[in-house]
Chains A and B, each alone.
Chain A
Amino acid sequence: MGFQPIKFYQTGTYTVGNRLLSPDQRSVQADEARSNSINSGHRACQGCGEALGARYAIDAAMAESHGQLIAVNATGCLEVFSTPYPESSWQVPWIHSVFGNAPAVATGIAAAMKVKGRTDVRVVAQGGDGGTTDIGFGCLSGMFERNDDVLYICYDNEAYMNTGVQRSSATPPAARTATTMPVGPEPGNPFGQGKNLPEIAMAHGIPYVATATVADLRDLEYKVRRAMRMHGARYIHLFVPCPLGWGTASHDTIRIARLAKESGLFPVFEAEHGEVTSVLKIRRKVGVEEYLLPQKRFAHLFGSHPHPEMVSRIQEIAERNIRKYGLLDEEAA
């Protein structure tokens, strides 16, 4: 990373701030060396977590691959807002085929590069949670199982946002979506197991699995670069709030992502060959209410007809995550 003359703190973040770091450790938004793989001018909503996450992830992958990168995209918001013909935001070679096949298309590209002896060219595939945990799941599992040389990044905003906020298998319990409306005795998405893709990825025994949120972009960059230094199938699951689908303020995207991590609802960790190798500890634990309250998709849990029992069940999920991953220091000890 290049030198950033303007120094700033991210207020309330507990990060030390760029000015206390050496230049090579600094995270910079604008820099001549930055590849700007997704250029400005795309049509993402204001405060889109996915656009931010993709910008940091793909730029980090570009940096680590020395610009020798090919990107694959599943159908979804990222694909649509970045390539309304004849415009394209992509400064990297990029292909979109269909909704459910991004991992397989990436496998094909990786195979082509291998057969042509272009081992310097690396392949990243990306999709939303619908494209990853639902319709693309078969292809993704196949790519994992064969250990194809692909980094797959899932931008998880917990529903099908591109089609108008319908439920996916990554939608959390109680959340309002267009297909899990907040009506009836148990409003919103039913409580259940959902589909925990990072753990399913780990069960494939692939070299690297990591989760991250857009609240900690430096952590994301580190994980992408780490993944890019490895070969074989790698998976990064990135938590990206969606102001439109979640009913949150555009300026709250980072805060919401941070609360997801700090409440324990979204564990941030790394795993290698199926075993957790590191977790990002909770800095200041918050109750799940603090995370749920700013989101209109959970509004039916509060207000005049509240559902405290559902909030408690969500809190239980957070506590289980905290125990399971040792997200609090005392838990780990």
Chain B
Amino acid sequence: MLKQIEGSKAVAEAVALCRPEVICAYPISPQTHIVEALGEMVKSQRLSPCEYINVESEFAAMSVSIGASAAGARAYTATASQGLLFMTEAVYNAAGLGLPIVMTVANRAIGAPINIWNDHSDSLSQRDSGWMQLFAENNQEAVDLHIQAFRLAEELSMPIMVCMDGYILTHAFERVDIPSQEEVDAYLPPFEPRQVLDPSEPITIGAMVGPEAFMEVKYLAHAKQMQAIERIPELASEFRSVFGRENGGLVRTYRVEDAETVIVAMGSVIGTIKDVVDEMRDEGHRIGVLTIVSYRPFPLEQVRSALLHCKRFLVLEKSLAVGMGGILATDVRMAVTGAGLMGYTAIAGLGGRPIFKSQLHPLFRQAEKEELPPVTFLDLDWEAVNRQLERERQTRRSGPVAENILHDKGIVSAKFG
């Protein structure tokens, strides 16, 4: 059913249609609206049977999910940013135990300085945790990815994060087609666990494993993700046949056929990039877009074949590997090893800094002319940065960095509110 609906509400509807049995909720912006909506559905018994648990921390949210999943219940939770970091130990544990938990990550920056706005630092910090990570471009895709995520997670018995940009998607009202219960039931069978805590058939889960078997267990997690490389496109195509929509998959290309320059990105910024590419195409530029939907598993071959015929690519990412450059860019470069392409990285939109078409036009043109440095910081205020660097050269006790920058810029955070 078509609805004009907030992204978080739409995701809550989608999750409810997946018949979760245990939902753990701990508030952290910007995912709160999702669990709030689910809480109301459970309390009003619209979503039943389902246990909704208000836990005392994100660490508990993931831990309760682990217990529920190990006991054979379909478990769901949502988090972001500091919350994801706070639950990290349990995040790795869920993957290590092979428990098919689905978690929405409403992508948000990581402090300090504390910042509630969108970038991809949070989920990318968990890239090696063993969780799969699927990135939504818009709210329709966020809805569809959740439904696919439960199916894929349970098939492989591995957990999945569905990543959607905080505020930009979670709080945006868009037209979203919410599927019917019949459609979702036809696509998503009941959870049949691979391992379950059952008194009639006692098993030990989470034993101590030494050097003699640890590598094999870890490799099997990798093997699961390699299986996911096969299954993700199949599940997306099956999804299309049931729901009549194309969403998900490993990667998506846009106007890359004869492109000499390809912009690579994830998440909602793809919309802005596509608009810029359309405008540049109108002017005769041979430019296209590669969208990474599946960040983990990372589709090396698909990325390679999508980029192989271009001359250069620019990875635009909302994340920063401090001391190195790009996080996503590193993976993309790995995919095109030996292909002789020029590769550029643009770090953009950290902590919710808006990414405007007016900034992308010159950036893409510079990339086209191969005039970019290997790593670019889009819209970085060099004056503010240099002033702080100079201050640190002049004074030992130069004070807290974030407060100095805010002072220099003459703005207060309230202006963003």
Residues of A within 8 A of B (CB): 67-70, 72-73, 79-80, 83-86, 88, 90-98, 100-101, 104-117, 121, 138-139, 141-142, 145-146
Contact = CB atoms under 8 A, between A and B. Distances in A.
Nearest to B206: A96
B307 to A, nearest CB: 40
Interface centre among A80, A88, A104, A109 (most CB of B within 10 A): A104
Given A93-B197, A105-B66, A111 B22 contact: yes
B50 interface: yes
A116 B73 contact: yes
A92 B50 contact: no
B65 interface: yes
Interface string B238-258: 000000000000000000000
29 contacts: A69-B199, A70-B197, A83-B204, A84-B207, A85-B209, A85-B210, A92-B199, A93-B201, A93-B202, A95-B206, A97-B93, A98-B63, A101-B60, A101-B63, A101-B90, A104-B60, A104-B66, A105-B70, A108-B63, A108-B71, A109-B67, A109-B70, A113-B71, A114-B51, A115-B51, A116-B49, A138-B59, A138-B60, A142-B57
B203 interface: yes
Contacts of A93: 197-199, 201-205
A96 B204 CA distance: 8
A140 B210 CA distance: 29
Contacts of A69: 199
Contacts of B22: 108, 111-112, 115
B49 A115 contact: yes
Nearest to B52: A111
A104 B203 contact: no
Interface string B66-105: 1111111101000000000000011001000100000000
Contact of B199 (A70, A86, A117, A146): A70
Contacts of A68: 199
B65 A108 contact: yes
Contacts of A94: 197, 202-205
Interface centre among A70, A85, A116 (most CB of B within 10 A): A85
Interface SS of chain A: helix, strand, loop or mixed?
A: mixed
A93 B195 CA distance: 11
B207 A88 contact: yes
A104 B60 CA distance: 6
Nearest to A102: B63
B199 A139 contact: no
B21 interface: yes
B56 A108 contact: no
B203 A139 contact: no
Contacts of A111: 22, 51, 53, 64, 67-68, 73
B85 to A, nearest CB: 15
A313 to B, nearest CB: 35
A115 B73 contact: yes
Nearest to A62: B199
B72 A139 contact: no
Interface string B328-347: 00000000000000000000
Contacts of A146: 53-54
Contact of B59 (A79, A84, A106, A139): A139
